[in-house]
Amino acid sequence: MKKAQLIKLPVLKATAHMMKLAAEDELKYSRVKIGSYNSNEKGYKYGLYLRSKVFDNILKVSIFYPEHMRSGGRLPVFEVYIDRQNHDFITYNHLKKKWMTSKLNMIEWPKYVFYSEGKWISPRDGKLIQSYLGVEHIGYRGVLDFQMQVRLEELKRRHKKETDPWDLAMEQTPDLPKDWDKWVSKVGIPENFIFYKYVRGGATTGYCTYCEKEVPIRNPKHNQLGTCPVCRHKIQYKSEGRAGTVITPTVNIYLIQRCEDGFMVRNFHGHKRFEKYGYRRPEVSKWEIRRAICNKNAIPLSAYYWGDYKHSEIRWIATGFCHANWWGGTEGRVYGKTLPDLAKHELKKTGLVEFIMQRKVVDPEKYLAVLRYIPQMEQIVKADFPRLVSECLKDYYNFAEVFKSKTAGSLTKLLGLDNQQLKRLRANNGGRSFIRWLRNEKVIGKEIPDNIISWLCENSIVIDDIRFILDRMSVVQIYNYVCRQSAELKMKPKDVIGTWADYLSMAARLKMDTNDAIIYRVRLLRKRHDELVERCKLQDLEIRAGEVLLKYPHIEDIYDSIRNLYAYQDEEYSVLIPSKLEDIIKEGEQLHHCVGSSERYWDRIERRESYVLFLRHTSNPDKPYYTLEVEPDGTVRQKRTMYDRQEADIEQAKRFLREWQKIVSTRLTATEHKLAVVSKELRKQEFAELKRDKVIIHTGDFYGRSLLDLLKEDLMENTNVAAEPVLAAAA
């Protein structure tokens, strides 16, 4: 329709009869329901007036406001032009002098239109609209029906541009196999039952839903699991008098078929329903929910699901192919008769068919998705390691750690095992944990029996869990000891190991000889553990100290050797040397900083790079004040109080520390001078790394500041140490 021609068409003015009706009408209040509320609203008898006429096969509908007509206006407010042949319409708004493509229900009408009794049109004009448009209703409703139909057709055309490629892809869907229904009932939905009638003394026969006939049974119990004596399938006994209607859980069922693009993975849901007293005629329900198409090289092309498309129809809708991260439980039985031929061609280099044969219940689409990230999975499947593949499907992202070399050709090199270990892995259907223990044999230097490795894997025990005792006992001895203790204490093996490690940590703390078999292989583990807890009093602190000493055994001896070098006090301040490792841990806890909990400080003390000392008030030596990190020559690297802060009083304490450095410089031995040279060099290296990495503090009072700047500000070098002794010591 051309707007210039439409606007030239004769104007349909309000007739005298219309003017009379409008003049006699008036706004009246009426009670209307708005949502869940009743309201009094104003409305006319006729909220709108309409006229219609056909000009050159174009229907023109003029719409008038009653309020304009009551004021003497005879011109329409809107003129709707409709081309029935071309399914087109357009509206001209005389008030705003502009064209509109809106439907009548989208025009912003005066409020009274909605609360009026109706809309007026003459019977002749109403029938004209009805006959011209071919709609059921007359007048306003007939025009709106036609407009709605036009818009729906337009929407379908827009949708069609999107859905046509989908429909084209779906056209290649093969027919279902002839025995599909039977296979789904027998195999795809795996739950089977034996229904029996209760009789005193026990039923002797029942109906097997797999055999589909009466079979002999003996002493059945309702809901008891068992095996059919005829077909040997797993079943559940159901008493007909108690079972009622039985519906099996909904399961996934898969069908893989060749198609034009390659092959299609079709995913169905299904279940069986056994009505009460109708168990011999189960209702088998199955419906397809998803289709995924791959090319001839098993590369995903597209996927579709059956659903509601934009609230317009139920159809196949394009979606994304299954991602390797998909975690949902979508495994199911796979129809087998199409697989042998696919295994020779499209699925030849995937290992999928072999995995289906091994596991029976799989998600083919998830398998193909993971295969793209872990191509080695094909090699593992064909070497008959189904557990490894299952673990890969569950967590492919972390599975790469299993491989020693991703480019390795042989499976032994890929998994980091020798031929004998590979045979053991296969014989035990081992997974990642089994591989780790096989590799640990090289670290331990002794072969671990397969049954013990399986036990370790079942109980989630890794080598780090037992490393604390490996220097004194073999894995076999550890296994025997833990099994015996587990049975006696009724504890899980891993909990026994934890208790054992705690016991030895406390024993080390108490200076017991943990290399004596009577100590480390104690008979009554729980009892001896609890006794040491009582002796230690502060259980957590003592255990932590024991653990640190196991890793850094020389710390306390080092402090004993330097006590006379660094201890010093005056009337106001004192520098104290920790007596035992627990003192350092408690210092960190009471001042709420990382000394005592950071491996960094233990390592530095063990290497004699620096020492943790305490600055206290002489009048109150037991109360933590400042913690110092000091180099062997008396240089103070750090001085921190509560929450790693420095308060204003540190300036006064610095004067004491300067005096302390002078005293220390007179006590230093050649060994301390030599250690100081190394410590200073390590400090420079640390500063260089902090500068390079631009390390920023993200917590506390120093948030946003450079860590390097802070450490430089904290540094108090001991300028009293002479250069000659250092050089001599270095020489």
Helix-strand-coil percent breakdown of the chain, rounded to 5? 45, 20, 35
Which of 203, 274, 190, 277 lies closest to 235, judged by CA?
190
Tokens of 16: 């005298």
Indicate if the alpha-carbon torsion angle 529, 530, 532, 536 is positive or negative. positive
> How far, in Å, CA of 125 to CA of 136, rounded?
14
Here the tokens at position 669 are: 């031995």
The mean per-residue pLDDT over the stretch 337-349 comes to 95
* Residues 685 and 708 sit within 8 Å (Cβ to Cβ): no
Is the Cα dihedral 334, 336, 340, 345 positive or negative? Answer: negative
Residue type, 308: D
Average of per-residue pLDDT across 579-592: 86
Q: What pLDDT does 729 receive?
A: 35
Q: Distance between CA 652 and CA 256 in Å, rounded?
A: 82
**166 in helix, strand or coil?**
helix
Phi-psi region of 490 (alpha: psi -120 to 50; beta: other; left: phi over 0): left
Domain layout of the chain by residue ranges: 3-153, 244-344, 464-548, 553-730
- Residue 406 has what pLDDT? 67
Tally the C-alpha atoms within 13 A of residue 336's C-alpha that lie toward its C-beta: 14
CB proximity list for 11: less than 8 A, separation 6 or greater: 62, 75, 76
pLDDT in tens, 702-723: 667 788 888 888 888 888 876 5
User: How is residue 93 written in tokens?
Assistant: 């708004």
Q: What's the pLDDT tens digit per position in 72-102?
A: 999 999 999 999 999 999 999 999 999 999 9
Dist CA 123 CA 235 (whole Å):
74
Give the per-residue pLDDT at 226.
94
Which DSSP helix (H) or strand (E) runs through 445? none
Q: What is the mean pLDDT of residues 330-349?
A: 95
Q: CA nearest 634: which of 718, 561, 530?
A: 718
Residues 99 and 89: beta-carbon distance below 8 Å: no
Residues of the chain with pLDDT > 70, as a percent, come to 95
pLDDT > 90 fraction of the chain, expressed in percent and rounded: 65
Which phi and psi (to 5°) does residue 43 adopt?
Answer: -160, 155
- Give CA 535 to chain center in angstroms: 46
> Is 573 within 8 Å of 618 (Cβ atoms)?
yes
Residues 610, 602: Cα–Cα separation, whole Å = 9
Predicted pLDDT of residue 699:
60
Check residue 540 and give its pLDDT. Answer: 67
Q: Find the mean pLDDT for residues 310-339.
A: 90
In tens, the pLDDT along 414-434 reads 888 889 999 999 999 999 999
**Average pLDDT value over all residues in the chain:** 89
DSSP letter (8 states) at residue 188: I
pLDDT in tens, 432-451: 999 999 999 888 888 999 99
Give the end-to-end CA distance of the chain in Å, rounded to a whole number: 104
pLDDT confidence band for 727 (50 / 70 / 90): very low
Q: Which residues pair with 255 in a beta bridge?
A: 266
pLDDT in tens, 121-176: 999 999 999 999 999 999 999 999 999 999 999 998 899 999 999 999 999 999 99
pLDDT at position 726, please? 39
Q: Using CA atoms, how far apart are residues 617 and 502, in angstroms rounded to an integer?
A: 36
* 499-504 contacts at long range (C-beta below 8 A, 24 or more positions apart): 499/525, 499/526, 499/529, 500/469, 500/525, 501/465, 501/468, 501/469, 502/529, 502/543, 503/528, 503/529, 503/532, 504/468, 504/469, 504/546
Note the pLDDT of residue 730: 34
* C-alpha distances out from residue 345 to 258, 296, 353, 729, Å: 10, 8, 11, 77
Beta strand 234-239 with 193-196 is parallel
* CA gap 539, 158 in Å, rounded: 73
Q: Which pLDDT does position 546 carry in this prediction?
A: 82
| Mean pLDDT, residues 201-205 | 88
Of residues 34 and 557, more confidence is placed in 557
CA distances 173 to 168, 263, 326, 338, Å, are 10, 9, 25, 14
Quote the CA–CA distance of 451 and 68 in Å, as a whole number: 97
Residue 626: which pLDDT band, with cuts at 50, 70 and 90? very high
Nearest Cα to 326, choosing from 298, 366, 356, 294? 366
Closest by CA to 594, choosing from 551, 644, 550, 639, is: 644
Q: Which of 250-259, 551-560, 580-589 reaches the highest mean pLDDT? A: 250-259
The more confident residue out of 338 and 601 is: 338
What's 518-544 look like in SS3?
HHHCCCCHHHHHHHHHHHHCCHHHHHH
Instruction: Answer whether residue 633 shows pLDDT above 50.
Output: yes
Mean pLDDT value of segment 208-213: 93
